[in-house]
């Protein structure tokens, strides 16, 4: 594991696996590169297929810095950090994979000018990009109820995941306020071949079919599982590999 500097100099963790064509892989909210990509074998599968997996822990996640100062969380901060990573690595020709928060970050970066050759948006629907306020409110409730939510509470599973990941609640509260909505007409910027990969029981971020239709050059891939459960199944890595090697 190495480190790089975010847009403001924050020390952010970078996990690397494999050798070959670079693919940058962005994990989901409250997760980490280890939990999203390494633990369940997805990165190893891509490495075996001839890719170098470049997997940052996003700001306020995993082994990366989680500053508490509001100034460390301007709008689109994760997209800014992604731009800093691309510059740090000197990447020109690369693919980009994002799951949930990582998918949202990927879209914001591309709308801002990033140009991956191929794109994978996992665990994402149209509403998750264009209507963030509802999801934001849910996660803020999860933070507010942290330690008190009981089984059956809508925030219970999020609470348990945050506990397991030892999430810094102050830092992620700041982070939740940095995500901008992406209106459907802005998706015209995503001209690269794109796979929208979503679990058959996952509508946490809206309708993946609507997102696929809204993109210029996209295919929808359905895999087994819920939003959180599909990450633990090999089908996710297989779908990513098959799209990137087709």
Backbone angles phi, psi at 197, to 5 degrees: -110, 125
Structural domain includes residue 209: yes
Structural domain includes residue 143: no
Structural domain includes residue 161: no
Structural domain includes residue 97: yes
The owner of tokens 């170098």 is 52
The owner of tokens 């089984």 is 151
Mean per-residue pLDDT pooled into runs of 10, the chain (246 residues): 95 98 97 98 98 98 97 97 97 97 97 97 95 86 92 93 95 93 94 98 96 97 97 98 97
Domain that holds residue 212: 2-130+179-244
Residue 136: the pLDDT is 87
User: How many domains does one find in the chain?
Assistant: 1
SS3 per-residue string spanning 7-46:
CCCCEEEEEEECCCEEEEEECCCCCCHHHHHHCCCHHHHH
Structural domain includes residue 164: no
Do 33 and 97 form a contact (C-beta atoms < 8 A)?
no
Task: Find the CATH number of the domain harbouring 16.
Answer: 3.40.50.1820
Structural domain includes residue 162: no
Residue 180: the pLDDT is 85
Do 47 and 17 form a contact (C-beta atoms < 8 A)?
yes
Structural domain includes residue 157: no
Sequence-distant (≥ 6) Cβ neighbours of residue 191 within 8 angstroms: 216, 217
Sequence-distant (≥ 6) Cβ neighbours of residue 135 within 8 angstroms: 128, 204, 205
Look up the pTM and report it: 0.96
Structural domain includes residue 238: yes
Residue 220: the pLDDT is 98
């Amino acid at each position: 594991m190495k480190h790089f500097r975010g847009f403001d100099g924050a020390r952010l963790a970078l996990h690397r696996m494999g050798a070959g064509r670079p693919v940058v892989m962005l994990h989901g909210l409250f997760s980490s590169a280890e939990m999203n990509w390494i633990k369940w074998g997805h990165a190893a599968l891509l490495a075996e297929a001839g890719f170098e997996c470049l997997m940052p822990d996003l700001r306020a996640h995993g082994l990366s810095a989680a500053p508490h100062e509001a100034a460390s969380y301007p709008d689109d901060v994760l997209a800014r950090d992604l731009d800093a990573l691309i510059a740090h690595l000197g990447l020109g020709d690369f693919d980009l994979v994002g799951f949930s928060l990582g998918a949202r970050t990927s879209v914001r970066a591309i709308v801002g000018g990033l140009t991956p050759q191929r794109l994978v948006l996992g665990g994402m629907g149209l509403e998750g990009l264009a209507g963030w306020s509802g999801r934001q409110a849910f996660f803020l409730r999860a933070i507010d109820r942290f330690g008190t939510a009981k089984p059956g509470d809508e925030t219970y599973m999020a609470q348990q995941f945050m506990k397991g990941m030892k999430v810094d609640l102050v830092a992620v509260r700041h982070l939740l306020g940095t995500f901008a909505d992406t209106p459907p007409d802005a998706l015209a910027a995503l001209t690269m071949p794109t796979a929208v990969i979503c679990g058959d029981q996952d509508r946490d971020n809206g309708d993946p079919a609507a997102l696929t239709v809204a993109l210029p050059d996209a295919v929808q891939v359905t895999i087994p599982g819920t939003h959180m459960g599909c990450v633990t199944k090999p089908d996710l890595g297989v779908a990513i590999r098959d799209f990137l090697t087709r």
